[in-house]
Amino acid sequence: MRHVTVALAVARKDLVSEWRSRELVPALAQFLVLALVIANFGFSINSDNAPAIAPGVLWLALVFAALVGFGRAFAAEKEQATLEAMILTSAPPAAIFAGKAIAATLLLVLCEAVLLPALTLFFGTPLTLVLAAAVLLATVGMAALGCLFAAMVAQLRAREVLLPLLTLPLWIPFIVAGGQAVQVMMGAEGTFDQALRLLIAFDILFVVLTSLAARFVLDE
Amino acid sequence: MTRYLLAAAGAVALMLVAAAVIFLFTPTDALQGPVQRIFYLHVSSAIAAFASFLVVAVGGAIYLWRESMVADRLARSAALTGVVLTTVTLVMGMMWAKPIWGAFWTWDARLTSTLVLWIIYAGYLLVRRLATPGRQAARFAAVVGIFGFVDVPIVYFSVTWWRTQHPGPVIATDALPPEMLVAFLFTMACTLVLAGVMIAVRYRIEALQDAQPQGHFVLQPAGRPTA
């Protein structure tokens, strides 16, 4: 029970601090829209090729925004030495980690609430419930892994370089399954229910594993 | 010291014998010609690489559980050996793929997951380099090693349901003629010995480095007077 209380308190702290400064979400949302603009110039989007290109653009933009968001969640704490302060309290490290991850997930979901409508607006691809579900399910597992490694690299040198290097290969299962679901939604052959089930399975696996590993990463 | 030299010389000699077996004893493949001889070392080094990464994951888990320095040094040594062997697998695979498939690379499940494996454990080596030596480096690297080992089968299976070009297992399905099977098993044994010797030599180097007094080396730029 105490774990839940601590986790919610940490998450609330992060969300309040983001609400007061309003730095991360507007910047990331702007970045996501900019990524769509770049994709337009890179691919010369028209109504014929948009359904084939949009899934790739969606995941690329999302993955890089997520890296910045998760990296920021721990880098900011580290810069102000509040990470050490939190670890010094009697709060269980796994709960602190869970709280940070919950807040980072919610902030990224806010950015997705900008990205998905923008994708529909600019690329003309459908915005369906399954598409949103696939992106949200992938976000949960990606946030668990991303926050674990963000907590790790915050304590290392060259953290900006190392975070994508460690995180991206571990995110591939989510991109494979999520990418499959989104491609099907945008007109590719196949079914999405297997992909969604896989996403749920990966979410459970990595949320459990990262919670177990959080103790070893946050205990320095 | 001489023990390690002897072991290394023995491993190299074994690999040379394996090369002789591959080129002189085994029959030439009817369909692919001499290129097929890549198979023996390509698959052997892949298996040795997987074995090395298993050592990394198990060593990491034991370190997290018991804080055993032996397990940590073993994981460190095996990671380096595994990355080298994966590089061998990838490069030889590309050399084989070009004449047979017509391209160095396809986004096949086996190829993709092997590349991901390489990237994950290259990241492991970077974490070792960038973390503060000692407890922090050992813990962080152990976490990376374990997650990497969990991730690879997932990547492998999640991609395998959609497309494959790489051939499936030939040993378990009994698809190899006996001479090829014998040559393959011999090469695999030699490669595993080589991997073991590489891990042992690296372990010795890591142990010697751990015994050195800890300190950060700062190179003095030339021409600048010391303060």
pLDDT tens by residue, A137-190: 999 999 999 999 999 998 887 778 889 999 999 999 999 899 989 988 888 887
Amino acid identity, position B9: A
pLDDT band at B65 (very low <50, low <70, confident <90, very high): very high
Task: Decide if B49 contacts B86 (C-beta within 8 A).
Answer: yes
Chosen from B108, B144, B151 to mutate, greatest number of chain A CBs within 10 A: B151
Task: Decide if A147 contacts A70 (C-beta within 8 A).
Answer: yes
B125 touches A: beta carbon within 8 Å: no
Question: What pLDDT, on the 0 to 100 scale, is given for residue B131?
Answer: 86
Q: How many angstroms separate the CA atoms of A37 and A114, rounded? A: 14
Task: For residue A34, give Cα distances in angstroms to A37, A39, A106.
Answer: 5, 9, 21
Q: How many angstroms separate the CA atoms of A78 and A93, rounded? A: 15
Question: What pLDDT, on the 0 to 100 scale, is given for residue B161?
Answer: 64
Please list every residue in chain A whose beta carbon sits closer than 8 Å to the beta carbon of residue B144: 152, 166
Question: What pLDDT, on the 0 to 100 scale, is given for residue A192?
Answer: 84
Inter-chain touch A216–B139, beta carbons under 8 Å: yes
Query: How many other CB atoms sit within 10 Å of the CB of residue A166?
Result: 27
Q: How many angstroms separate the CA atoms of B171 and A147, rounded? A: 41
Inter-chain touch A158–B159, beta carbons under 8 Å: no
Question: What pLDDT, on the 0 to 100 scale, is given for residue A194?
Answer: 86
Inter-chain touch B127–A152, beta carbons under 8 Å: yes
Question: What pLDDT, on the 0 to 100 scale, is given for residue A219?
Answer: 74
- In this structure, what token pair is assigned to residue B219? 């190179």
Taking only the tens place, the pLDDT of each residue in B172-193 is 666 788 888 899 999 999 999 9
CA B92 to chain centre: 13
pLDDT at B155 over 80: no
Inter-chain touch B120–A170, beta carbons under 8 Å: yes
Angle between helices B38-66 and B109-130 (to 10 degrees): 40
Task: Decide if A172 contacts A141 (C-beta within 8 A).
Answer: no
Measured in angstroms, the CA of B134 and the nearest CA of chain A are apart by 11
Question: What pLDDT, on the 0 to 100 scale, is given for residue B170?
Answer: 67
pLDDT band at B227 (very low <50, low <70, confident <90, very high): very low
Long-range CB contact pairs, A38-44, < 8 A, 24+: A40/A122
Inter-chain touch A216–B162, beta carbons under 8 Å: no
Question: What pLDDT, on the 0 to 100 scale, is given for residue A47?
Answer: 84
Please list every residue in chain B whose beta carbon sits closer than 8 Å to the beta carbon of residue A209: 147, 150
Taking only the tens place, the pLDDT of each residue in B19-55 is 999 999 888 887 888 888 999 999 999 999 999 999 9
Task: Decide if A101 contacts A77 (C-beta within 8 A).
Answer: no
Mean pLDDT of B134-148: 92
- In this structure, what token pair is assigned to residue B32? 């692919």
* B120: nearest CB among A162, A169, A177: A169
Task: For residue B80, give Cα distances in angstroms to A10, B67, B148, B224.
Answer: 38, 21, 14, 37
Residue B152: exposed, middle, or buried by beta-carbon count in 10 A (0-12, 13-18, 19+)?
buried
pLDDT band at B223 (very low <50, low <70, confident <90, very high): low
Q: How many angstroms separate the CA atoms of A102 and A12, rounded? A: 9
User: What three-state secondary structure class fits B51?
Assistant: helix
Taking all residues of chain A, what is their mean pLDDT, rounded to a whole number? 91
Chain B CA closest to residue A220:
B136
Q: Which residues contact B120 (CB under 8 A, 6 or more apart)?
A: A169, A170, B144, B147, B148, B151, B152
User: What three-state secondary structure class fits B149?
Assistant: helix
Question: What pLDDT, on the 0 to 100 scale, is given for residue A160?
Answer: 81
Q: What is the ipTM of this complex?
A: 0.89
Angle (CA) B74-B199-B218 rounded to 5° is: 75
Of residues B76 and B131, more confidence is placed in B76
Mean pLDDT of B79-96: 95
Amino acid identity, position A213: A
Of residues B221 and B108, more confidence is placed in B108
Residue that the structure tokens 């949302």 belong to = A29
Query: How many other CB atoms sit within 10 Å of the CB of residue A18?
Result: 20
B143 touches A: beta carbon within 8 Å: yes
Angle (CA) A217-A64-B79 rounded to 5° is: 45
pLDDT at B89 over 80: yes
B71 touches A: beta carbon within 8 Å: no
* Buried b or exposed e, range B23-32, using 16+ CB within 10 angstroms: eeebeeeeee
Task: Decide if A57 contacts A119 (C-beta within 8 A).
Answer: yes
pLDDT < 50 positions in chain A = none
Taking phi first (over 0 means left), then psi (-120 to 50 degrees means alpha), and beta for anything else, what does residue B164 get?
Answer: beta
Task: Decide if A108 contacts A66 (C-beta within 8 A).
Answer: yes
